[in-house]
């Protein structure tokens, strides 16, 4: 085991996979940083430091610094994937899917199906997502709500550095297109990461981060830590919470959720995206359909409100699900009678 930050787990995994397989290539805006400037290549090295050192190690053919052209980046990833390469494309902010969505949604996601299963499309699209930096409505969004509903895509949302390592390696070696969502408020978080160069975490297998008998809390990403804080607080009162980290929203580990709810009878989903047609609504519906008889209380989803993400510190704090709001929701389902 080695201790490393979430962002370092990203870059080290990319480097290891590029070393292992020469077909793995990276592309994105400023992933080299400094191209065409007096400072020269790698003067910056990507705003999230998730590509540091790759250019020097693997060269311009395999680490492709692109203009600000998100449609062309995603389209190029699609073309590379159809041509035998395994591209890892970076979208600097997940919010920028707006300008590139056709290539993700109508192209990458659908090639295999539209072409009758006769091709594979091994592309990874990495995106930095999430609130917490007061970056306002166009640089803070959690976009899994949009992408999870698209058949043909797999959607990964790692919470810990170890999960970044294991899930990103799986993503890069996967032959289907994978959306890899990195929470920007987690980039600086450290954790133990296995050294095994083939350490992989399969998609669709949730992680139980806290175990308890009284209530099931489902989340992933930044808010998973908030859920753990609530679980730890309630544990001191003798209340046990199952805290399930989904790891991937597509595929979804339905079994882990249903097995837990069958024991606890109570469900709170904590989701960073707005409430309508959300992951929270989806999982509440799943449980209502498939575990209705086990339920002791109506399932609850904790989401931000149906508003764009505001800028000011007070507003963003009020917008995001907080430890207090999650605790209140958990106590509400516990108190239902």
Partner 1 sequence: MQLSREALLRAYRQMKVIREFEERLHVDIQTGEIAGFTHLYCGQEAVAVGVCEHLSVDDKIVSTHRGHGHCLAKGCDVNGMMKEIWGSREGLCKGKGGSMHIADVDKGMLGANGIVGAGAPIAVGAGIAAKIDGKGKVAITFSGDGACNQGTTFEAMNMAVVTKAATIFVFENNHYSEHTGFEYAVGTNKDIASRAEAFGMKVWRGDGTDFFSVYETMREVLDYVRVPGNGPAAVEFDTERFFGHFEGDPQRYRGPGELDRIREMRDCLKNFRKSVTDAGLLEHADLDALDAEVLEVIEESVRQAKAADRPTAEDVLTDVYISY
The contact set with partner 1 (CB under 8 A) reads 25, 61-62, 64, 66-67, 69, 71-85, 87, 102-103, 106-107, 111-120, 151-152, 154, 174-176, 204, 251
Q: How far is the CB of 122 from partner 1 (least distance, A)?
A: 9
Identify which of residues 118 and 313 has a Cβ nearer to partner 1 in the complex.
118
Q: Name the residue nearer to partner 1 (CB basis): 117 or 238.
A: 117
Cβ–Cβ under 8 Å, residues 284 and 267: yes
Task: Give least dist CB 182 to partner 1, A.
Answer: 22
Alpha helices in the chain (DSSP H): 6-20, 54-58, 70-82, 97-101, 111-114, 144-148, 161-173, 222-235, 254-264, 279-290, 313-319, 323-335
SS3 content of the chain, % helix, strand, coil (to 5): 40, 20, 45
Closest CA to 283 of 304, 298, 267: 267
Please give the Cα distance from 43 to 261 (Å, whole number).
Answer: 51
Sign of CA dihedral 50, 53, 59, 60: positive
- Active-site annotation, residues: 139
For 227, the token pair is 């859920």
Query: Which residue lies nearer to partner 1 by CB, 77 or 162?
Result: 77
Nearest residue (CB) to partner 1, 37 versus 317: 37
We find the least distance from the C-beta atom of residue 93 to partner 1, in angstroms, to be 17
Q: Minimum CB separation from partner 1 for residue 78, in Å? A: 5
CA–CA gap between residue 213 and residue 24 (Å, rounded): 44
2-5 and 154-156 strand pairing: unpaired
Shortest separation between residue 286's beta carbon and partner 1, angstroms: 17
Question: From the CB of residue 115, how many other CB atoms can be counted at a distance below 10 Å?
Answer: 12
Q: CB of residue 159 vs partner 1: minimum separation in angstroms?
A: 22
Collect all residues with Cβ–Cβ distance below 8 Å to 195 and sequence separation of at least 6: 1, 2
Tokens of 291: 């575990």
Q: Please, which residue, 256 or 268, has the CB nearer to partner 1?
A: 256
Closest to partner 1 by CB, 85 vs 207, is: 85
Phi then psi for residue 9, to 5 deg, are: -65, -35
């Amino acid at each position: 085991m080695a201790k490393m930050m979430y962002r370092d787990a990203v870059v080290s995994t990319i480097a290891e996979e590029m070393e292992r397989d020469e077909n793995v290539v990276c592309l994105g805006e400023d992933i080299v940083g400094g191209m065409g400037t007096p400072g020269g290549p790698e003067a910056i090295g990507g705003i999230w430091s998730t590509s540091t050192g790759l250019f020097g190690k693997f060269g311009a053919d395999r680490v492709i610094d692109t203009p600000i052209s998100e449609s062309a980046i995603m389209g190029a990833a699609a073309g590379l994937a159809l041509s035998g390469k395994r591209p890892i494309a970076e979208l600097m902010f997940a919010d920028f899917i707006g300008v590139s969505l056709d290539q993700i949604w109508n192209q990458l996601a659908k090639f295999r199906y539209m072409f009758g299963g006769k091709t594979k499309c091994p592309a990874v699209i990495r995106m930095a997502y999430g609130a917490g930096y007061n970056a306002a409505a166009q640089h803070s969004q959690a976009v899994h709500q949009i992408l999870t509903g698209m058949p043909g895509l797999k959607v990964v949302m790692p919470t810990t550095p170890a999960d970044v390592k294991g899930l990103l390696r799986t993503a890069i070696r996967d032959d289907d297109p994978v959306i890899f969502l990195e929470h920007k408020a987690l980039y600086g978080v450290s954790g133990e990461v296995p050294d095994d160069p083939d350490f992989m975490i399969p998609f669709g297998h949730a992680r139980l981060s806290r175990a308890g008998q009284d209530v099931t809390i489902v989340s992933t990403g930044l808010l998973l830590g908030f859920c753990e804080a609530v679980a730890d607080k309630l544990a001191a009162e003798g209340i046990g919470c199952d805290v399930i980290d989904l790891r991937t929203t597509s595929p979804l580990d339905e079994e882990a959720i249903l097995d837990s709810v069958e024991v606890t009878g109570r469900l709170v989903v904590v989701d960073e995206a707005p409430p309508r047609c959300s992951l929270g609504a989806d999982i509440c519906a799943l449980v209502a359909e498939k575990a209705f008889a086990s339920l002791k209380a109506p399932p609850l989803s904790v989401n931000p409100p149906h508003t764009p993400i505001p800028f000011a510190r007070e507003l963003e704090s009020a917008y995001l699900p907080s430890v207090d709001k999650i605790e209140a929701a958990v106590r509400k389902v516990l108190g239902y009678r």
